[in-house]
Structure 1
Amino acid sequence: MRIPLIAGNWKMNKTVTDAIELVNEIKDVANNTDVEVVVCTPFISLVGVSEILKDSNVKLGAQNMHWEESGAYTGEISPTMLKDIGVDYVIIGHSERRQYFNETDETVNKKIKSAFIHGLNPIVCVGETLEQRESGIQREIVKNQILKGIDGVEEKYLKNIVIAYEPIWAIGTGKTASSEDANEMIGYIRNIIKEKYGEEISEEIRIQYGGSVKPNNVTEIMNQVEIDGALVGGASLKADDFRKLVDF
């Protein structure tokens, strides 16, 4: 049985002081639940938040990483640095990274492989733009992102990949794909994995929905049979909202 995963992506929000205050308010949200909970803070807050979460069931995630262990990559953070401070998950290939920072399927692939080598669990983001959906090529786009992203990843790691389907047109816009549309695409993604790697792996991989998930729609989204969790942006920045998401 797949355990639902609710992950908060704080993006470029919260000072270190703010982050510590917020995580102190939410660190007990996973104590009495069958849901796995992750908070993905800005790099600057990871160390402080890690200390607070040591005695909590809430897992720590980063929002990005470089694929190399070290080197002349000014401004980058390596997987070894993340692992050393207790990071469990790392978001890879978020649409904002692809759009603003030239992330490609090839760099996503390198990062996924490096994450597993260093004991980190990747949350791999895929999704189409509104133009692509209106052109009817959303399935082709998502399929290419998945197959190129996980190409060459050892099968022993595949079950630990988390895929986050995030229709780009529904991120930060207030728009949300209908729960039925999200469920259909996530079912399609699971079928891609099944065709490529077999039913056993496809049934183990968790696939989240990401795109303006809020307390008022999370129950409907999570009641869909194929959806295994949510990658949450703005609603993860308020303790009360995040608690409601976890308690869907």
Structure 2
Amino acid sequence: MRKPMMAGNWKMNKTWAESVVLAQGISNRCDDAWDAVDVVLCPPACNLKAVHTVLEFDRRDIHVGAQNCHWEEGGAFTGEISIPMLEDIGVDHCIVGHSERREYFSETDEMVNRKVMALVAHGVTPIVCVGESLAVRDAGTYLEFICNELRADFAGLEPEEAAKCVVAYEPIWAIGTGRTATPEQAQEVCSAIRAALSDLFGEEVASGMRVLYGGSMKPANVDGLMAQPDIDGGLIGGAALSADSFAELVEACLK
């Protein structure tokens, strides 16, 4: 059995005070049943410590994740944040390769791979994003595209290292658009991702790795998506900005 995961990607939203209020609202909804789900909150970098402090004070078993990192330990990389810096404030997960990072900041698979390798070396869980544009989807080459992206992002990892990672499938055409892949469409890709992981690292490792869906999951569609055999949770955008809607998603994993 793979433990479900719900990771809230707050993107570039919420001030310091708003992040505290949102984290507190989620913490207030948390109860012992949530122990069956890995819950991860990924606020903007400037609010990571504040969110961690709320959860630590409330003694909640909720993880704090970063939205990005640099693979170097330190140096002349203005504006970047190192993994040791993140660890020092309680971060234990990190999103890498999000489509917005790839599109707006020209991140390549090589860069994503270096981040994955560095995170694993530090014992921080990478949430590795892969997904296709509408053009690739319409061309019918999306499975090949996504599996190639996956292989590049995981290049050089040993099976025991890959086992510590999480994959998030984010159809780019369904992010922030209100459009959602049908449960069957999402399952097709998540199944192909697991098959590619099996080819790379063996069936035992692949069967234990979690694959999240990251395209406009919300309370209205979560049950259908979570019913799919290869979908183990969500990387949540808009619905993570409300304590009530995010809590509903977590609680959907308990049904």
Query: TM-score higher than 0.5 here?
Result: yes
Cα drift, residue 160 of structure 1: 1.3
131-140 vs 24-33, greater mean Cα deviation: 24-33
Aligned match of 2:143 in 133, 139, 142? Answer: 139
Percentage of matched positions with identical amino acids: 49
Two-structure CA RMSD over aligned residues (Å)? 0.9
Aligned match of 1:165 in 144, 166, 169? Answer: 169
Cα drift, residue 71 of structure 1: 0.3
Match of 2:17 in 1: 17
SS state at 1:231 partner:
strand
1:30–1:36 CA contact under 8 A, matched in 2 = no
Cα drift, residue 30 of structure 1: 5.6
Cα drift, residue 167 of structure 1: 0.4
Runs of 4+ that moved beyond 3 A = none
Aligned match of 2:42 in 21, 40, 43? Answer: 40
TM superposition score normalised by structure 1: 0.98
Match of 1:51 in 2: 53
Alignment of 1:122-201 (within 5 A): 122-201=126-205
* Unmatched tracts of structure 1, length 5 or more: none
Between structures 1 and 2, the one with greater helix share: 2
* Unmatched tracts of structure 2, length 5 or more: none
Q: Matches of 1:156 and 1:50 in 2, distance apart?
A: 28
TM superposition score normalised by structure 2: 0.96
Cα drift, residue 57 of structure 1: 1.0
2:158–2:201 CA contact under 8 A, matched in 1 = no
Aligned length: 248
Q: Matches of 2:107 and 2:228 in 1, distance apart?
A: 30
Cα drift, residue 184 of structure 1: 1.0
Deviations 1:177-212 (A, max 9, x none): 000110111001100111121110010110000001
Match of 1:221 in 2: 225
SS state at 2:32 partner:
coil
